[in-house]
Chain A
Amino acid sequence: MADQEILRPNGTDELVEAVGQAAARGQRLEVRGGGTKSAIGRPGRDTALLQIQGFDRVIDYDGPELVLTAGASTPLAKIETLLAQNNQMLAFEPFDHGVLFGLPPAATLGGVIAAGVSGSRRLTAGAVRDHFLGLRGVSGRGEAFMGGAKVVKNVTGYDLPKLLANSWGQLAVMTEVTLKVLPRPQTVQTVVLSGLDERQACLIMGQALGSQADVAAAAHLPADINGGLALTALRLEGFEPSVKARVQMVLEQFGATASCDLLPPEASALLWEQVQHVKPLQGEGTLWRINVPPMAGSEVTERLKPYGARCLLDWAGGLVWALLPTTDGGQEVRDVASTLGGHAMLIRAPEALRRSIPTQHPLAPGVAALTQRVKDGFDPAAILDPERFI
C-alpha cells in the first residue's frame, strides 16, 4: 500500500493527541515498531501507520536488580548487546522475525513484546509474558497510562503487562517497557541424538525434561528437513562444572537408546540459531506455528503428512512449525491443533490465503466474546487495527 498515511508522533503528548484524534475520526491505526512482522495478518486493511519512534532510550538498567527499563522502539539488537556486555540476557530468547520474511533485522522491544515472541528457552525459562514487568503506553482511548511496575515481584492491581504481551498493538501503543533480565549462562552444550522418529523424539525430550539434568531447551529436526538425518537436540547451560555433570547424566540416560553426540559451543549456537529462525523451513509455501501439549507434537506431524507438511519441533514437541507446500490444508491444520488441545497461527502465507483464513486460531465463543469486551475497554472506538486477525 504505497500511499498509506503514516503518523510519526514525537513523544507521549503527541502520541496521545494522535491516538485521541484517530479515535475521534474513526481512523484505524496499525502500530508499527520495526515492521518485521507486517506481513503477518490479513492484508489490505484500511489503516494509517502509526510509526513508533523516538522511544529508544535505555531508561534504567541495573544488572543486579535484574531489571531493565527502555523505550518501546529501542531496537532489540541494541538491548541484547547491552545485556551481553553485562553477562545478562532476555531469558525468553526473543528474535528478529525479519529473517523469516527475508528482511534485515529491525525488531524493536515493543514489537517483540506485542507479538509475544519467545524462542527455544521459553520451554523452561518462560515466555515474554513471564519477563514483562511493567509498561507505559497510550490506549486506544488516547489516554496515557501505566501498568505493572519496575520491580521483579509485584501483585499490586491487575497484571496488565500480561495482557499487553501478545496483544499485537490492539490494546495500546506501548512507549516504555520494563523487563526482567537474567544472567547469561557461562557455557552452553548440546547433546544431539540421531535417527529418532518424531514419536520417539517427543518421548525422549519429555523424559529429558523430567530428569534432574535441568535441560534448558529441546528441539527435533526430522530427517526430511535435515538432509536425511533426524536430530534431536537437548541444550544444557549454566556453570561449567554443572553443565559437565548434566551432560553426563543425559548421555547415561539415553546412550543406550540412540546414538548421542556432544556439540561444542559454536556448533551448538549454530544449531539453535537454525531452530530459532526456523531456517530449515524457508522457501515457498505456507508456514504455520502450532502450539500443543508436548506429547502431541508428533501426532501433529503425523496428521499433516498427507498435506506434504515438513515440520520442525521445538519446546520438547509443544511447538510445531509446519511448512505446507501449497495453500491447501489450512483447515486441517486448525482441526488438528484444536483436536489435540492447542492452536495454530498462520505466520507466512500468500495474500490470498491470508484473506480467506484467519491468522489467529479462532477462540471458543465465550472466550472470544470476553476478549472482545476486554479490547473494547482499551479501544472503544476500535481503531487499533481491529481487522488484522479477522
Chain B
Amino acid sequence: MPVPDGAVLSRRGEIVAALRGIVPGEGVISDPASLRAYESDGLTAYRQVPLVVVLPETTAQVSAILRWCNAAGVKVVPRGSGTSLSGGALPLEDGVLLGLSKFNQVLDIDYDSRVAVVQPGVTNLAITRAVEDRGFYYAPDPSSQIACSIGGNVAENSGGVHCLKYGLTTNNVLGVEMVMMDGEVVRLGGQHLDPAGLDLLGIVVGSEGLLGVVTEVTVRILPKPQTARALLLGFETVERAGQCVADVIAAGIIPAGMEMMDRPAIHAAEAFVHAGYPLDVEALLIVELDGPYAECDYLVEQVAKIATANGAVTSRVSTSEDERLAFWAGRKAAFPAVGRISPDYYCMDGTIPRRRLPEVLRRMAALSDHYGLKVANVFHAGDGNLHPLILYDANQPGELERAEDFGADILRLCVEVGGVLTGEHGVGVEKRDLMGTMFTEIDLAHQQRVKCAFDPQLLLNPGKVFPTLHRCAEMGRMHIHHGAVPFPDLPRF
C-alpha cells in the first residue's frame, strides 16, 4: 500500500473535527475499539485500522466530506458491506473510511417501467425482497447476497450463478447518482436505455470505488420465471463434464445456471450438507433451467440426453422445489464446507476459455503438489469462471505465503491460456501486482487516465487495482515517437 503520509496522520484531530462538522452525532467513529470493526473486508488476510470512519446519511454530506478531503489532500476509501474478496474496501492508515451503511432505503419502484431506485447500502437480496410480492426480482445473485450492498456490487460488477443467462451487475444497472472526489454530484444514465454520449456509467460499474462514491442506483427488475428445474449430473472425467457443458451451449441452450465441482469440492460439500451428491465421480454438474413450464420440461429432457451422450454416470432431475434446492445446497455451501476441512482457505477467481479446463486442472494439480497445498474447485462452468479454493493453515509458518504464491501461479496460468485474473471478485489489493501479466504499461496507462479524469489527485481508494499510480500530470504527456517527421511516408490516395 502507499506509504502513509505522516503529515496527514499528525492532523488526525483536525480531520475528525472537520468530519464531525459535516456529519453530526454518531456518524463519525474515531475510538480505536470501534475502528477495529472496519479493519478488513472479506479478504481477512489484509488488515489495517482506518484513520477514522464516517457514516454519512445524505448525498449532500457525502459531497461535503469528499470536497473537504479533496481540498485537504486526505485519502478516502468507500465501503459498502465489507464483503469484498479482493481487499477493495481495505482501509488506509492515513485515510478516511466512508461507509454507506446508512444509505439503506429503497426509494422508488416502478413496475410499469420495471425499475427500482435504491440507495447504495441496500443489500442485493433486499431489492428482490422489496419487489417479490409483485412477482419480480433483481437478477444478479452473488452468493454473498444477504450481506453485500448494491453499491459494492456496482463497484465490483458482481456476478452470481445466474449471470450466464441474466448478466452481471453492469447489464442490470441503468443509472447511478455519484459524488466525485471534488464533491461534484453527477447522474449517469437514468431510467432510459443507453447514454446520450460516452458510456460513463459503463466505466463506473466495476471501477472498484476509484472513480466516485455511488449514492443512488437504478436497477432493472425482472418478472420471476414461472418455474425452475435442475439436473444433477456426475461424470467420470472432467473432460466429459466440460464437453457436456459445451454441447449444451452448442445445442442453443443457455441455462439459468451451470455449475461444476471437482472431486475435492464434492466430497467437502457432501460431508457438510448431505445433499446426496455421488462421491465416486470426478466432476459434478448442476444445470438449472428456468422459464415457463413447457420450456423447462422440454429443456430438461434435452440436457438429460446430452448428458447421457457424454457418459454421465449420475443423472437426476429435480421433481420438486425441495429437490432443486437440495441439488444447490451443496454448491451454495461449498465455501463454508471447505472451511470445515481446512483451518483456512483462499478463494481465487480467474476466468479461462472453457475448452482449456482439463489442461488447467491438470496443471493446477501439479502446482498443488509443488506447493504441498490441497485445492478444491468450484466453477461457473457456463462462462469459464473458476473458483479454486486453496486449503492452508495460517498458523503454520509460511503457509499463508505459500497459498498466496500458489494462487498467483493459478492466475498467471489463467492469463496464459487466454483468460483473465478475475471474473467477478475484482482486482483490489490482492491481484494488483499481477496486472502486468495481462496488461502492458501502455494498456494500464489508458485505464489510469480514466481515473485521472475522475480523480486527478488520486485520493479515492488509492493502492487498489493499479500496481503503480503515476501522477496524472505525468500520464497526460504525449510521447511523439520517431521524432517529429512532419510528412511521413504514408500511403495516401
Interface residues of A (CB under 8 A from B): 5-10, 14, 17-18, 20-21, 23-25, 62-67, 87, 116, 118, 122-123, 126-127, 129-130, 139, 141-147, 149-160, 162-163, 165-167, 171, 182-186, 203, 206-207, 209-214, 238-239, 241-242, 244-246, 249, 291-295, 315, 318-319, 341-343, 345, 360-361, 363-364, 366-368, 370-371, 373-378, 380-381, 389
Pair B438/A156 contact, Cβ less than 8 Å? yes
Evaluate contact between A154 and B423: CB separation under 8 angstroms: yes
The answer on a CB contact under 8 Å between B194 and A116 is: yes
Contact residues in B for A5 (Cβ distance below 8 Å): 492
Q: Are A239 and B453 in contact (CB under 8 A)?
A: no
Quick check: is B7 within 8 A (CB to CB) of the other chain? no
- B488 A8 Cβ-Cβ under 8 A: no
* Contact A245 B384, beta carbon cutoff 8 Å: no
Chain B residue with the shortest CB-CB distance to A162: B202
In the complex where A145-B443, A155-B206, A342-B192 touch, is A374 in contact with B419 (Cβ < 8 A)?
Answer: no
- The answer to whether A18 and B490 have CB atoms under 8 Å apart is yes
Asked if A249 contacts B292 (CB within 8 A), the reply is yes
A183 touches B184 (CB 8 A): no
Q: Are A156 and B427 in contact (CB under 8 A)?
A: yes
The 6 tightest CB contacts between A and B, nearest first, are A162-B202, A377-B449, A242-B295, A183-B252, A245-B294, A373-B453
**Is B385 in the interface zone, CB < 8 Å from A?**
yes
Q: A153 and B202 in contact (CB under 8 A), knowing A145-B443, A147-B447?
A: no
Q: Whole-angstrom distance between the alpha carbons of A17 and B193 in the complex?
A: 37
Alpha-carbon distance A151/B249, docked complex (angstroms): 15
CA distance A203 to B159 in the complex (A): 31
Task: Given A9-B490, A183-B252, answer yes or no on A206-B197 (Cβ-Cβ < 8 Å).
Answer: no
A186-B427 contact in complex given A129-B202, A360-B196, C-beta closer than 8 Å: no
Asked if A341 contacts B191 (CB within 8 A), the reply is: yes
Contact check, B490 vs A14: say whether CB atoms are below 8 A apart. yes
Nearest residue (CB) in B for A143 is B442
Q: Are B168's CB and A147's CB within 8 A?
A: no
With A23-B480, A203-B112 as contacts: A158 and B450 at CB distance below 8 Å = yes
B70 within 8 A of A: no
CB distance from A314 to the nearest CB of B (A): 10
Cα A210 to Cα B352 in complex, Å, equals 35
The one of A141, A143, A157, A295 that contacts B113, using a Cβ cutoff of 8 Å = A295
Q: Could you tell me the distance in whole angstroms from the C-beta of B208 to the nearest C-beta in chain A?
A: 8
Instruction: Assess whether A183 is in contact with B249, with CB atoms less than 8 Å apart.
Output: yes
Chain B contacts for A141, CB-based, 8 A: 478-479
**Across the interface, do A159 and B157 meet the contact criterion of CB distance under 8 Å?**
yes
Indicate if B40 sits at the interface (CB-CB under 8 A): no
B334 within 8 A of A: no
Collect the chain A residues with CB atoms within 8 Å of residue B442's CB.
143-145
| Chain B residues within 8 Å of A373, by CB | 452-454
| A157–B427 CB distance below 8 A | yes
Nearest chain B CB to A112 CB, angstrom units: 14
Contacts of A318 in B (CB 8 A): 192-193
Report Cα–Cα, A364/B189, bound state, in Å. 12
* Extra inter-chain contacts (13) besides given A20-B482, A150-B353, CB under 8 Å: A17-B482, A64-B354, A116-B194, A126-B171, A142-B481, A145-B440, A162-B202, A167-B198, A183-B253, A210-B136, A212-B225, A366-B186, A373-B452
B215 within 8 A of A: no
